[in-house]
Amino acid sequence: MPPIREMLAESGITEQQWRVLRVLAEHGPQDTSTIAQRACLLLPSLTRIAQKMRDNGLITLARDDTDKRRQTIALTKAGQRIVDDNMDEAAAIVNGIKQRLGADNYEQLLDLLSLLEADT
């Protein structure tokens, strides 16, 4: 995580906020439960994080028309800009990890992390 933290320090966002931005950039607007799962965050944590991100203009929050308990989160242009500005560096960090581990070990790591996610 240190390389990611260094990358994000200039953007003024946290690792958790970065994960939310990445999930939204990859999958589009989603409900909070889906984002929490995909970003590996507890729902109460996401609620707090999303409030701050909304206040900072990075996302929008909208209540579902049919189920007022459900919220949908979407990226704003400012949020997308942060993703775009950091994507090359994030990819370079991942490539560095792949090189250090080797392709087979990297794939095994991803498989093991998927197993962990499946258990939650």
Structural domains of the chain, with CATH: 2-119 (1.10.10.10)
Mean pLDDT lowest among 43-47, 54-58, 91-95, 110-114: 110-114
pLDDT tens column, 18-45: 999 999 999 999 999 999 999 989 999 9
Residue whose C-alpha is closest to residue 50's, from 37, 35, 40: 35
pTM of the model: 0.84
Residue whose C-alpha is closest to residue 53's, from 33, 82, 27: 82
